[in-house]
Structure 1
Amino acid sequence: MACSSCSTGKDGQPRGCKNNGTCGTDGCNKLTVFDWLSNMSLPNGQKPFDCVEVRFKNSRKEFFRNVDNLPLSIGDIVATQAKSGHDVGMVTLTGELVKVQMKRKKVSPEDDTVPKIYRKATQRDIDVWQKCRNKEEEIKKRSREIAIALKLEMKLSDVEFQGDGSKATFYYTAEERVDFRQLIKDMAKAFGIRIEMRQIGYRQEAQRLGGVGSCGRELCCSTWLTDFRSVSTASARYQQLALNPQKLAGQCGKLKCCLNYELDMYLEALKDFPSQDSKLLTKKGIAFCQKTDIFKETLWFSYKDDPATWHALNKEQVLEILEKNKKNEKIASLEEYAEENVVEEKMVFENVVGQDSLTRFDRPKKKRKKKRRKNRSKTTSNA
């Protein structure tokens, strides 16, 4: 997705809106919402819901009450109430869907403490807002230099200015508790603004910064994922993935969120499977489970004395053997059951090239010249 200002120029070079996915046209924004109720009219006598959802830099969204009943639509730039001064953001949702989102975020629609919208942003508000946004990268670089000079064990990942430019919020990550009182004093003296420090997790840092994952797509956390559930190595074990930290970790350094996407399907399929800790009692000895294939419904067992030799059994066979073991009955061997699952693979040879000749692209040989040379030799001999 890209807006008109993010597309390429005439010479093929990317122009870019330089807003990191937060441009004002709402074409390449993070967590863009589709209002599927926008074309539906309200019942007679019902007033539209007076709260709207406003998005600020990156994925920060808040709810505001439209006290003055301003005609707002998705994409409008508005000046909103802040703790001190005002902030500038973009409307991302209006109407009844805002009520649904407020209930989802556990915000009461009747709450009187919901901040209000002052007005639609004027050109002066937008100019001040853009001017502050352009200074963020330079201030972030200088603040990192100040933190390094103070030898603080923290990483400043992002800076967000308030719409009127009176305050800046610094987002940082740290392993332990950090005493940044001197840092705030130095930054307030250097920048001449009020400073607010906010600690975030490593997943929230990746959400704000964005990027491309190993799948080749944009990060889920920076495009559509809103809640971060805990991911453990058990998710990888259930899906029989190799516990390789380099492959299982995302750009945040934590386990990938996508490990939970198919976990429910695997857990549901494993309900009918025998436990991997199950043991099969045979006359040749005890057999242990080595591997399970959920899709093929196959389990591989090996004897305790010969762990290198695996025998493939299907799910029904294993359950049958376990039922016999419960009755104190031992089977003769695993080989009897494994022989039933052996399928002879027939080698099928196919012409991968098809009916085309391998020399179809070669230039045809010129045979006419040879005939002419033969005719010349015959005429000389006759003479």
Structure 2
Amino acid sequence: MACSSCSTGKDGKPKGCKNNGTCGTDSCNKLTVFDWLSNMSLPNGVEPFNCVEVRFKNGRKHFFKNPENLSLSMGDVVATEASPGHDVGMVSLTGELVRIQMKKKKITPDSDEVLKIYRKATQKDIEVWEEARAREEKIKTRAREIAIRLKLSMKISDIEFQGDASKATFYYTADDRVDFRQLIKEFAREFNTRIEMRQIGLRQEAARLGGIGSCGRELCCSTWLTDFRSVSTSAARYQQLSLNPQKLAGQCGKLKCCLNYELDTYLESLKTFPKSDIKLHTKKGTAVCQKIDIFKGFLWYAYEGEWMTWHKLTVDQANQIIEANKKREGVGSLEEFEVELQMEEEQPDFNNVVGQDSLTRFDNPHPKKKRRNKKRRKKNKPSSSRNAK
């Protein structure tokens, strides 16, 4: 079942979420998981795993027990335990993959964090759920107006109603601690419901709201990335990136999570490289590292005092000079080890497989001559007509 914004309207026409693949109310296409174990049968005597993963608004997921042994599949709308009342969500994962995910997140099925599923959602549950979700945008606008009037340094990014509409969770971001006791009183009086304030980080806010990154694709945190790892500027240094905060920061204002994707490969490649602060001592002088090319495996060194002249060495050659310096063996100069660039342009060899002589055989070989002949003809025409008269 789709969410309220993707369902059909009153006139029978589809509404459409209009949110570029990220549904605005129930995140139909957000953080979806493919069950690659669905076609595999369990061995004899093994009971199916009795827990499921349920997804709520904006990709929020939790694990729930299935004490009634309901026949659940991905996409079913269920009523789950909440405090107080019940919540309504969509089953996002079942079977053995749930066991793997719970083991990965170090959650045991018998822990107090794992609540239970009451039943499959009835039509009445779904109607109450959709009515509550329809109120969220208006309440969010009004809540921001109240926060501005109270002069609180906070930003209310999103609101999520519980499935039975008995509680509303306000997600906000703030740099410092905020005293929102008066704000809760205003909200309870204005919206006539139970209020819960939950502070989230800037990364979590970007994941909930979604968007398009500088790469032209949807944000990783709102599509498939579930765990946030710390990103430091050293990751950019290892990858030889310029420390420009405008290019390294994402929409959340923090360093991009994709800086960690290829970091392990760079660190593995840099193990063979000598450290850039190690100087090479030769009879001609002391050389300092100026540049490193991790992909091709080259280093550029320059003598102290001759900074404009760079000498290109391979990793093995640089390590060889460093070992010679440790053994106090004399090294003449870097020119003895320098790698000369040989730019050999290999011209492609084309074969006449189709039997064609030339690709330009239909072109005019002498277009200028024809133009001259036309001009001559124009000049000769009036003279011939005068002679005839």
TM-score by length of 1: 0.86
- 3-state DSSP class of the match of 1:92? strand
Structure 1 residue aligned with 2:76: 76
SS at 1:116's partner residue? strand
Alignment map for 1:103-142 (pairs within 5 Å) = 103-111=103-111, 114-142=114-142
Note if 1:61 corresponds to 2:74.
Answer: no
How much does 1:349 deviate?
11
Asked if 1:335 is matched to 2:345, the reply is: no
Q: Check conservation: 1:154, 1:173, Cα contact below 8 A.
A: yes
> Distance between the aligned counterparts of 2:17 and 2:282, measured in 1?
70
Q: Is the 8 A contact 2:48 2:96 kept in 1?
A: yes
The CA deviation at 1:216 is 0.6
How far did residue 253 of structure 1 move?
A: 0.4
For 2:87 and 2:144, the matched residues in 1 are separated by 25
Q: Is the 8 A contact 1:24 1:75 kept in 2?
A: no
CA deviations over 1:55-93 (Å, ceiling 9, x no partner): 000111111111222221110111111011110000011
Q: Distance in 2 between matches of 1:358 and 1:308?
A: 50
Query: Secondary structure at the residue paired with 2:91?
Result: strand
**Mapped contact 1:281–1:325 kept (Cα < 8 A):** yes
Superposition pairs for residues 1-383 of structure 1, below 5 Å?
A: 16-17=16-17, 21-22=22-23, 28-111=28-111, 114-338=114-338, 340-344=339-343, 355=360
CA deviation profile, 1:95-119 (whole Å, cap 9, x unmatched): 1221111112222123466321111
Tell me the matched-pair count. 368
Structure 2 letter corresponding to 1:342:
L
**Matched position secondary structure for 2:87:** strand
Cα separation, partners in 2 of 1:61 and 1:371, compared to 1, 3 Å = same
Q: Partner of 1:11 in structure 2?
A: none
1:313 and 1:341 in contact (8 A); partners too: no
Equivalent residue letter for 1:236: A
Q: Retained in 1: the 8 A contact 2:25–2:57?
A: no
User: After alignment, is 132-141 or 81-90 more displaced?
Assistant: 132-141
Contact kept, 8 Å, 1:24 with 1:90, in 2: the verdict is: no
- Give the counterpart letter for 1:321 in structure 2: I
**Letter matched to residue 120 of structure 1:** K
CA RMSD of aligned residues (A): 3.4
Q: Label 1:68 to 1:342 Cα distance change in 2 as closer, same or farther (>3 A).
A: closer
After superposition, give the CA deviation of every residue in 1:186-244 in whole Å (9 maximum; x if it has no partner). Answer: 11111001110111111111100100110111100001111111110100000000000
Equivalent position SS for 2:322: helix
Aligned partner of residue 107 in structure 2, secondary structure: coil
The answer to whether the 8 Å contact 1:88/1:121 transfers is yes
Query: How far 1:328 sits from its partner (Å)?
Result: 1.8
Change (3 A) 1:124 1:264: same
Q: Confirm or deny: 8 A CA contact 1:23 1:29 kept in the other structure.
A: no
Displacement after TM superposition at 1:329 (Å): 2.8
Cα distance, 1:178–1:285 mapped onto 2, change above 3 Å: same
Q: Secondary structure at the match of 2:165?
A: coil
Question: How far 1:326 sits from its partner (Å)?
Answer: 1.5
**What SS class does the counterpart of residue 103 from structure 2 fall into?**
helix
**Partner Cα separation in structure 2 for residue 350 and residue 341 of structure 1:** 27
Shift of 1:286: 1.1
Normalising to structure 2: TM-score of the pair? 0.85
User: Contact conserved, 2:302 with 2:308, CA < 8 A, in 1?
Assistant: yes
Q: Secondary structure at the match of 1:100?
A: helix
Alpha-carbon distance change, 129 to 313 in structure 1, aligned in 2, over 3 angstroms: same
**Counterpart residue identity of residue 90, structure 1:** M
The alignment partner of 2:59 has SS state of coil
Provide the rounded CA distance (Å) in 1 between the counterparts of 2:243 and 2:321: 31
- Unaligned runs of 5+ residues in structure 2 are 8-13, 351-357
Cα–Cα, structure 1 residues 163 and 106, in superposed 2: closer, same or farther, change >3 Å?
same
Sort the Cα spacing of 1:96 and 1:342 in 2 relative to 1 into closer, same or farther, 3 A. Answer: closer
2-side partners of 1:57 and 1:342: how far apart? 58
Aligned with 1:197: secondary structure? strand
- The structural deviation recorded for 1:345 is 5.1
In structure 1, the residue matched to 2:355 is none
- After superposition, the Cα gap between the structure-2 partners of 1:277 and 1:113, relative to the gap in structure 1 and judged at 3 Å, is closer
Distance 2:26 2:245 in 1: 39
